[in-house]
Amino acid sequence: MEGEKTILLVDDDRDFVASNRDLLEAYGYTVLTAYDGNSGLETAQREHPALIVLDVIMNHVTEGFETAKKIRKLPELRETKILMVSAATPEMKLWASSAVSDGESSAEHLLEKPIDPAKFIATIEEMLGND
């Protein structure tokens, strides 16, 4: 499944995953899904997606950041692009944004939920060099 058009969505919100899977597939991407950090990590190791869209808060408040750190420790996934998403409180969004900009989460971008579809696609295309 490895390829520049493969995206892994990791989010415990099944509606978010379903709607964004449909959106990404409409733009020609192959979409893999996972609903928590552990299954996301397993899928990433098995499939080697070009980009991972990773929710910040899943089973616990920092699961997304912890998963991103685990991804970065694996040589085969170290260069995989990570886009963090969050529907957290303003305070949590500030903390998450700081973690991304400081490199703590090892993610390249953070988008707030609800995500504007046009901004979502534009960010992904920029991250994958398809702009």
In this predicted structure, what is the pLDDT of residue 119? 96
In this predicted structure, what is the pLDDT of residue 31? 98
Residue pair 103/69 in contact by the 8 Å Cβ criterion? no
Domain boundaries of the chain, sorted by first residue: 3-127
Backbone angles phi, psi at 123, to 5 degrees: -65, -45
Q: Rounded to the nearest 10 degrees, how much is the dihedral formed by the CA atoms of 48, 54, 117, 103?
A: -100
In this predicted structure, what is the pLDDT of residue 15? 96
Architecture per CATH, domain 3-127, reads as: 3-Layer(aba) Sandwich (3.40)
Rounded to two decimals, the pTM is 0.87
Tokens for 13, please give them: 């919100």
Angle, alpha carbons 93-99-105 (nearest 5°): 115
| Regions of the chain where pLDDT drops below 50 | 1
pLDDT tens-digit map of 83-108: 999 886 555 555 555 555 555 556 78
In this predicted structure, what is the pLDDT of residue 103? 53
